Amino acid sequence: MAANKEQVTQQLRKVILPAGGQDIVTAGLIRNVAACDGVVSVRLALPAEANPARDQLRAEIEAAVRELDPETKQVAVEFVADAPQEAAQSPQDAARQANPLPNVKHIVAVGAGKGGVGKSTIAVNLAVGLARLGRSVGLLDGDIYGPSVPTMLGLHEHSAAGTSQLLRPFFVHGIKTMTIGKLVEPDKALVWRGPMAHGAFQQLALQTDWGELDYLVVDLPPGTGDVPLTLAQVMPLTGAIIVCTPQLVAQDDAVRAAKMFPQLGIPVLGVVENMSYFIGDDGKEYDIFGKGGAATMAQNLGLPLLGQVPINTALRANGDAGDPRRNFEGDDQLATELMAFCKAMEAEVDKAGASQPTLSIS
């Protein structure tokens, strides 16, 4: 199992300052440690006069972390000018200060513990549903390993365009969107190593000309890998949503995902139960996967349940056909559940907005 934050911090006691005997933890230099599924980031306050030691310390920190867990995928070491201990920061704090997308009011990530639970379906329908509520919405396909947005939004006929600096988002079904799936050959396997994944995600997120948006919905890759860490480092989020199916086996992964976001400084807005139940031709409700499993999980974690979306043939067919608007026009139950979910999400965003400090720039 990948090392956690506490284990990494303990291990960093083995890294001794070149100047004088003390380890970097005892010397009070650690400003932040984040560890999630093999991706570790360490922020260290180092006085300017010690700068020549940086390269050596970086190498020793990386070696110490890899000694603890040889399977570690990535070790990011960042040095900051010395700051008081109480100023310890999460990856989000830096992103909030930099705020690279000042014209976007709310950035909301959609994550899931594992693939196939309908995360992209939920992200796409959240974006389209919010647009139907009159909001200006962007959808960033952050699932750089397996982008679904080109199919789910029907982008086959569209070609990427832009200037040398900025990509122009595609405008479809009332939303703006950008996906790596339209920038690389569609059938090419998308294998990214840690730093490449970081770069690809960052470029998609920050070099797209989003303009003014009420919401930027980010469809994340499944699990707890390096993309969520990059996301947390590069842009300030209002919160994250966890998509989960009702079965017990899906929930351990979902709990892990739900616990990852706060470690990165990102609040979790709530849980959506997808494939909750099925309505047969006889009009009866069938709880194929055991409706309510994700609701119990959300309750145990103290998180709001934002919606319960049924198994619905039209939802799958409209996804394959690239026309999510039909989900809001056809089958009443589906449209009602999806709209209720979008509204519940907005209500949580309002609450989160009220409790977060805001910066006004005049």
Give residues in contact with ligand ADP (CB under 6 A): 112, 115-121, 148, 222, 274-275, 309, 311-312, 315-316, 319
- Tokens read off for 252: 């351990």
- For ligand ADP, which is the closer residue by CB, 148 or 238? 148
What is the full DSSP assignment across 296-340? HHHHHHT--EEEEEEE-HHHHHHHHHT-GGGGGTS-HHHHHHHHH
The nearest distance, CB 34 to ligand ADP, in angstroms, is 24
Residues 6+ apart with CB under 8 A from 150: 141, 156, 179, 181, 182, 186
Residues 6+ apart with CB under 8 A from 243: 110, 111, 112, 117, 118, 119, 122, 254, 271, 272, 274
Report which residue type is found at 80: V
Q: Name the residue whose CB lies closest to ligand ADP.
A: 118
- For ligand ADP, which is the closer residue by CB, 154 or 265? 154
CA nearest to 102, candidates 362, 343, 342: 362
- For ligand ADP, which is the closer residue by CB, 27 or 339? 339
Residue 205 CB: number of other CB atoms within 10 A? 21
CA distance 193 to 226: 9
The nearest distance, CB 124 to ligand ADP, in angstroms, is 8
The nearest distance, CB 313 to ligand ADP, in angstroms, is 7
- For ligand ADP, which is the closer residue by CB, 193 or 316? 316
The nearest distance, CB 318 to ligand ADP, in angstroms, is 8
The nearest distance, CB 275 to ligand ADP, in angstroms, is 5
- For ligand ADP, which is the closer residue by CB, 30 or 243? 243
- For ligand ADP, which is the closer residue by CB, 59 or 321? 321
- For ligand ADP, which is the closer residue by CB, 226 or 337? 337
Angstrom CA distances, 133 to 19, 136, 174, 328, 352, stand at 60, 9, 11, 11, 19
The nearest distance, CB 120 to ligand ADP, in angstroms, is 3
The nearest distance, CB 233 to ligand ADP, in angstroms, is 23
Is there a contact between 240 and 270 (Cβ–Cβ < 8 Å)?
Answer: no
Report which residue type is found at 85: Q
Treating both helix axes as pointing N-terminal to C-terminal, what angle do 91-98 and 226-234 enclose, rounded to 10 degrees?
A: 40
- For ligand ADP, which is the closer residue by CB, 119 or 135? 119
In sequence order, the β-bridge partners of residue 36 are 39
The nearest distance, CB 280 to ligand ADP, in angstroms, is 14
